[in-house]
Amino acid sequence: MDGLRVRRLPRAVLRFRGGTAPTPYEGFKHGFKPVSGPSKLRVCVMFEPDVKREAEEFCYNLERGVRGFGGLGDWFMVEPEWIWVRVGEDGFEEAANCVEELNPDLALAFIPDSMVVSYEDDPYMPLKRKLSAVGLPSQMVERSTLENLRGSEYVLFNVALSIYAKAGGVPWTLDDALTHHLTVGINVSERKHGAVAACYTHGSGESMKFDWATAPASLDMLGEAVFQVVGWAAENYIDSLGGPPSSVAIHVDAASPILEAGFGAAIQRLESEGLLKEKAVYSVVSINKSGPPRVYVKMGDTFMMPDKGACTVLDYERGVVCTSGYPEQPALSPLGVVKPLMVEVVESNYEHSITEIMRDVYWLSEIHWASGFRTPRLPVTLLYPGRMCSFFRAGVKPTSLRGTAWFL
């Protein structure tokens, strides 16, 4: 990367109810509260008899908090009701048959470690399939975590975040608006008779909205699928703000067949149907997570971790951005420097700024609601559709879970 200027993008400011903070953990530690969410939760706890005591202690710590974690009660202002379901010899799937009758908001299951059971005996995916089919989100905790880390504030905080988001809560948002009024990320579950999954976001601060949609898809119908999911996101934008968006960004995986869709034609149809403003500006952004050039800090013969948010512009359409790095990662890591993302504008109808587009990609990696300590490489507009597609391929097809982050 010799001869290329590396700059650092401004860090995202996270919005909570009551204030802003640079990280989720700091926000909650300062006494700020989630943006929105439930005040009560009925949680069905599925446990094997020999770990009942540990399960009770885990749930107690989750509700009341330990050391640096304030608990669901204090930090999230949630009053959980624990409903206990004993898993018998017939296993988790059989125990799940009675869960729907209990009418919980979420199921918390303490399952065997995937490394100590065969694939056929691993209850994770069968249980996900069964619960999602009746409209129940679920949170799995492996047995080793239950036995060894039930008193860890870090583990408990992350589990609390996932439970809160899966129940429809919004822990935090971005305080500043993104470049486009509407940002949609799209992925495809299969090339033939699969589905397109999309996550969208618009607005900023406490008014920022986030949701997901799906549409049936095949290689010869990708354009129609794009029209459906972007149209659905635009309809929600109109419902929230009273008028259609005038700009939209579409994030796609560089390896996804969705790049074969006709985005321009879909945008024109959306304009003609009043879902986008006339002459709306749009950009299609390809994000490549495999093989981009590395960014690093060189001190003598040592290669050090780049700062989180470091980026370099390659040309008008392409750039490289580090969505993770120092100080989240140690300056000298035995694993080497982090892998950045290659960002490329593959289609656009306006004079875009690749720096602003990279900034949006970077910021969107900051609203991952399954971790309060370390952000993912990918923006949630790609991470979440990718997770949904993985679940679809495994037969998990949720019902009645709109508005929840069930895929965390």
Quick one: pLDDT at residue 394? Answer: 81
Quick one: pLDDT at residue 60? Answer: 98
Same domain, 154 and 51: yes
Same domain, 122 and 201: no
Domain containing residue 306: CATH number: 3.30.420.10
Same domain, 265 and 152: no
Asked if residue 180 lies in contact with residue 249, where contact means CB atoms within 8 angstroms, the answer is: yes
- Print the domain residue range for 49: 37-166
Residue 191 pLDDT greater than 60, yes or no: no
What percent of the chain is predicted at pLDDT more than 70?
92
Quick one: pLDDT at residue 307? Answer: 83
Give the range among 11-15, 68-72, 187-191, 222-226 with minimum mean pLDDT: 187-191
35 or 205, greater pLDDT? 35
- pLDDT-derived band of residue 1, with 50, 70 and 90 as boundaries? very low
pLDDT in tens, 322-360: 998 777 776 776 666 678 899 999 999 999 999 999 999
Same domain, 194 and 310: yes
Quick one: pLDDT at residue 85? Answer: 93
Q: Is residue 19 part of a domain?
A: no
Same domain, 230 and 248: yes
Residue 182 pLDDT greater than 70, yes or no: yes
Q: Is residue 367 part of a domain?
A: yes
Across the chain, mean pLDDT equals: 88
Q: Is residue 378 part of a domain?
A: yes
Q: Is residue 151 part of a domain?
A: yes
Q: Is residue 408 part of a domain?
A: no
Same domain, 135 and 207: no
Mean pLDDT of 85-97: 86
Give the range among 11-20, 214-223, 229-238, 254-263 with minimum mean pLDDT: 214-223
Length of the chain: 408
Q: Is residue 13 part of a domain?
A: no
Examine the fold and report which residue of 112, 134, 166 is the final residue of a domain before the chain moves on: 166
Which residue has 């005996």 as its token pair? 121
Examine the fold and report which residue of 119, 144, 166 is the final residue of a domain before the chain moves on: 166
Examine the fold and report which residue of 166, 184, 216 is the final residue of a domain before the chain moves on: 166
Same domain, 159 and 179: no
56 exposure class (CB count in 10 Å sphere: 0-12, 13-18, 19+)? middle
Same domain, 232 and 202: yes
Mean pLDDT of 144-159: 96
Same domain, 191 and 61: no
How many domains is the chain partitioned into structurally?
2
Helices (H), 172-272: 222-241, 263-272
pLDDT in tens, 265-290: 999 999 999 999 999 999 999 999 88
Residue 10 pLDDT greater than 90, yes or no: yes
Quick one: pLDDT at residue 134? Answer: 85
Q: Is residue 11 part of a domain?
A: no
Domain containing residue 138: CATH number: 3.40.50.2300
Mean pLDDT of 117-144: 85
Quick one: pLDDT at residue 120? Answer: 65
Find residue 45's DSSP bridge partners: 84, 108
Same domain, 180 and 130: no
Rounded to two decimals, what is the model's pTM? 0.91
Same domain, 180 and 309: yes
Q: Is residue 112 part of a domain?
A: yes
Which residues lie closer than 8 Å to 208 by C-beta, 6 or more apart?
15, 35, 170, 173, 174, 201, 202
**Strand order, beta sheet including 194-202:** 6-8, 310-313, 318-321, 341-348, 281-288, 247-253, 182-188, 194-202, 209-217
1 or 321, greater pLDDT? 321
Cβ neighbours of 97 (radius 10 Å): 11
Same domain, 250 and 361: yes
